[in-house]
Amino acid sequence: MDYSEKISHQVAAIPRSGIRDFFELVQGRDDVISLGVGEPDFATPWHIREAAIYSLEKGYTSYTSNLGMPSLRKAISGYVEDFFKVGYDADSEVLVTVGVSEAIDLALRALLNPGDEVVFHTPCYVSYLPSIALAYGVPVEVPTTVEDNFALKADMLEAAITPKTRVLMLNFPTNPTGAVMPVDELEKIAELCVKHDLIVLSDEIYCELSYSDDEHVSITTMPGMRERTILLHGFSKAFAMTGFRLGYACAPSPLIEAMMKIHQYAMLCAPITSQAAALEALENGEAAMLEMKESYHQRRDFVVGRLNEMGIDCHSPGGAFYVFPDIRKFGLSSQEFAMRLLEAEDVAAVPGNAFGDAGEGFLRCCYATSFEELKTAMNRIERFIGTL
Amino acid sequence: MNDPLLKLLQSKARLSNEELAEALSLSSEEVDTRISQWEKDGTILGYQAVIDDEKAGELGVAAFIEVKLTPERGGGFDRLAMRIARFDQVSSCYLTSGGYDLMVVVEGQGLRDVAQFVSEKLSTLDGVLSTATHFRLKAYKEKGFIFESEEPEGRLPVTP
């Protein structure tokens, strides 16, 4: 059968992920040190896993409310108020989803009509562009640069806004650059959103993992923003719960209601076992989370220090667990550099162009791997650039 | 501990491999190989400093909890004991003979922390029949080290 005729044009038009090719190559090799993963190296803290086991023992295996267990939504509302300093009603303004990825998909499908433009900053997480395209939106990239530490500039954003722009997607701290937003620039962006009547999807999945002394500030706290922001957050990164697949959206109730319409038919509800684990994470997980954060912080400082010392320019990212070194001076493309590094030294790092054209000339290295491995990886990278 | 290298590591884990080799008249390659083998096979589980909490200004509390369990078919006490042992608050966990089954050592920031752990996590487990919590009042010796408040006077430099 000719399956190409059977696949929708919309899906067929989405290119294969650049990361996938690279990782098939990595998987064929032994003894590779991978700086290519996008998840914590810790297992979920035991007390959280134990809460999941306990819920199974007690027979909690049913569906939950479409929005998520009321007790979990209440805990989320409390946590968000505490951390982001903004209140959301647990009964009508919080939706528990299967990871932030589902929440992004729901929000875009709930907001966009065909042809609506969505502005997002690059380099960015690999799902943004396809998610916009799958929701029949038109993706509009705004590149960020290493000179601005990969923060989004308000004037660059304004230049990309047209009468068709409906949504702005933000992701700070950013995967893959670890960028954080200076508050004054974020304020300017908030003003633009109000001026142009945009809805903001603010994916703040890495917000706990922010290493500067300043507190993380969400755009939703800025004047006129709460009513037009969908705040997206989850448990994967800060609580090392990627496999539990649990995220949430906080927004005014008409927006949550619209997202819920899709969620209830596509997903029904997030898995109850994961919801039980998430409740434990919010109630008792802070100590374990802070310990992991401290460990990432130490490793970030080590990796940034080593890269600069060996002569690779690397800014110190403010958050997440990625560094995004600049390899342009070696005269190789991101792809070539990554391939040759893999072949010569068995170190896998993701070529920056996998995250958009703005990432060309850079590499994404995840430092959520053991200190010993990081040390070896840095030594190997140093040896590799000596041969260039 | 019969192996001299393991014995020395137990009291002076911070010595470098060269220093260990020198003290025991071994080659430092041999020390290297043996230690990495022990780390790999789990003979050496880890290294830690033994700290006098009071001197360090730590206000934490510790409690020794006697736990009675219902043994299970097949595994006896193992599954439940491991489940309890994995909690971060549990610093040691032993199966014992006598009037109870498990001795669980729990550390926390304060009495409330420990009390919450016992009432919320420990006693709610199916299979836990009873618990008795004893709070530590004072420590005299830990992991072979005596807690001394005063330095003893040193030996004289020259004696007959």
Annotate B81-92 with DSSP letters as a single string.
Answer: HHHHHTSTTEEE
Q: Which residues contact A72 (CB under 8 A, 6 or more apart)?
A: A96, A275, A278, A279, A282
> Both A11 and A106 in a single domain?
no
Which region holds residue A178: left if phi is over 0, alpha if psi is between -120 and 50, else beta?
left
The arithmetic mean of pLDDT across residues A212-222, rounded, is: 91
- Using a CB-CB distance cutoff of 8 angstroms, which residues of chain A are in contact with residue B88? 45-47, 287-288
pLDDT higher than threshold 90 for residue A75: yes
> In this structure, which amino acid lies at residue A252?
P
Query: Which chain A residue is nearest to residue B109, measuring alpha carbons?
Result: A287
Give the total number of structural domains in chain A: 2
Q: Give how far A278 is from chain B: nearest CA, Å.
A: 16
| Chain B residues with beta carbon closer than 8 angstroms to that of A283 | none
- Nearest-neighbour CA in chain A from B123: distance (Å): 12
Give the residue from A42, A48, A50 with the most B CB atoms within 10 Å of its CB, the best one to mutate.
A50
B59 and B26 in a single domain? The answer is no
- Rounded (10°) angle between helices B28-41 and B17-24: 110
Q: Which residue of chain A is at minimal alpha-carbon distance from B116? A: A284
**Whether residue B87 sits in one domain with residue B108:** yes
Residues B35 and B61 both lie in one domain:
no
Relative to beta strand A347-348, strand A350-351 is unpaired
A54 interaction partners in chain B (CB closer than 8 Å): 124-125
pLDDT class of B150 with cuts at 50, 70, 90: low
A42 in B contact zone (CB under 8 Å): no
pLDDT score at B53: 87
- Does A77 lie in the same domain as A87? yes
Averaged pLDDT, A276-283: 97
The ipTM estimated for the assembled molecules is 0.72
Contacts of B87 in chain A (CB under 8 A): 46-47, 50
Q: Closest to B86 (Cβ–Cβ): which among A46, A54, A287?
A: A46
A145-200 pLDDT, tens digit per residue, is 999 999 999 999 999 999 999 999 999 999 999 999 999 999 999 999 999 999 99
What are the Cα distances from residue A311, in Å, to A17, A192, A327? 30, 39, 10
Report the DSSP beta bridge partners of residue A63: none
**Predicted confidence band of residue A29 (pLDDT cuts 50, 70, 90):** confident
Q: Which residue has the higher pLDDT, A71 or B147?
A: A71
Q: Looking at the structure, do residues B13 and B68 belong to the same domain, yes or no?
A: no
CA A42 to chain centre: 18
Q: How far is B99 from chain A (nearest CA, A)?
A: 27
B24 and B93 both lie in a single domain:
no
Q: What is the mean pLDDT of residues A312-318?
A: 93
Per the domain annotation, does B132 fall within a domain?
yes
pLDDT tens digits along B5-19: 999 999 899 999 999
Per-residue pLDDT, averaged over A65-70, amounts to 97
Residues A321 and A369 in one domain: yes
Give B22-47 pLDDT, tens digit per residue.
999 999 999 999 999 999 999 999 99
- CB–CB contact B88 A287 (8 Å): yes
Counting the structural domains of chain B, the total is 2
- pLDDT the model gives residue B147: 87
Of residues A241, A309, A310, the one with CA closest to residue A275: A241
Query: Residue B126: which of A47, A57, A287 has the nearest Cβ?
Result: A57
User: Is A288 close to B88, i.e. CB distance below 8 A?
Assistant: yes
Which chain A residues are within 8 Å of B126, Cβ to Cβ?
57
B87: nearest CB among A47, A53, A54: A47
- Report yes or no on B160 lying in a domain: no
Regarding whether A318 and A179 lie in a shared domain, the answer is no
CA closest to A287 among chain B residues? B88
Domain boundary among A238, A261, A284: A284
Q: What does the pLDDT read at residue A214?
A: 81
Q: What values do phi and psi take at A17, rounded to 5? A: -65, 130
Q: Are residues B75 and B25 in the same domain?
A: no
Confidence tier at B58 by pLDDT (50, 70, 90): confident
Percent of the residues in chain A that have a pLDDT greater than 90, as a whole number: 89
Measured between beta carbons, the chain A residues lying within 8 angstroms of B125 are 54
Say yes or no: A212 and A322 in one domain.
Answer: no
Q: Which residues of A, range 81-140, sit inside 8 Å of B by Cβ?
A: none
Q: Which of A253, A284, A315 is the last residue of a domain?
A: A284
- Using 50, 70 and 90 to split pLDDT, how confident is the model at A19? confident
Candidates B121, B122, B126, partner chain A, best to mutate (most A CBs within 10 A) = B121
Asked if A2 is an interface residue toward chain B (Cβ–Cβ < 8 A), one would say: no
For A39-61, write each residue's pLDDT tens digit: 888 999 999 999 999 999 999 99
Contact A50 B126 (CB under 8 A): no
**Which of these three, A240, A256, A284, is where a domain ends?**
A284
CATH number of the domain residue A18 falls in: 3.90.1150.10
Q: Which of B87, B50, B49 lies closest to B65 in space, CA to CA?
A: B87
Q: Does residue B95 share a domain with residue B120?
A: yes
Measured in angstroms, the CA of B86 and the nearest CA of chain A are apart by: 6
Q: Grade residue B148 by pLDDT with cuts at 50, 70 and 90.
A: confident
What crossing angle do the helices spanning A18-27 and A334-345 adopt, rounded to 10°? 10
| Residue span of the structural domain in which B95 resides | 54-137
Q: Which domain holds residue A229?
A: 46-284
Query: Going by DSSP bridges, is the β-strand pair A229-234/A247-250 parallel, antiparallel, or unpaired?
Result: antiparallel
Q: Provide the shortest C-alpha distance from residue A124 to chain B (in Å).
A: 36
> pLDDT value at position B149?
65
**Looking at residues A353-369, what average pLDDT do you find?**
93
Q: Across all residues in chain B, what is the average pLDDT? A: 91
* B49 within domain boundaries: no
A288 in B contact zone (CB under 8 Å)? yes
**Tokens describing residue A326:** 């600049």
Chain B nearest-CA distance from A49, in A, is 10
Contacts of A47 in chain B (CB under 8 A): 87-88, 121
Average pLDDT of A113-133? 95
Average pLDDT of the residues in B104-125: 94
Contact A46 B87 (CB under 8 A): yes
Question: Residue B157's pLDDT is what?
Answer: 73
- Taking the C-alpha atoms of residue B57 and residue A7, their distance in angstroms, rounded to an integer, is 67
Q: How many residues does chain B have?
A: 160
Beta strands in B22-89 (DSSP E): 61-69
A274 and A159, same structural domain?
A: yes
Q: Which residues contact B137 (CB under 8 A, 6 or more apart)?
A: none
Q: Are residues A38 and A107 in the same domain?
A: no
* Top-confidence residue, B75 or A256: A256
Q: Would you list which residues of chain B are within 8 Å, Cβ to Cβ, of chain A?
A: 83, 86-88, 121, 124-126
φ and ψ of A377, to 5 deg: -60, -40
Report the half-sphere exposure of B140 (CA within 13 A, side-chain side). Answer: 0
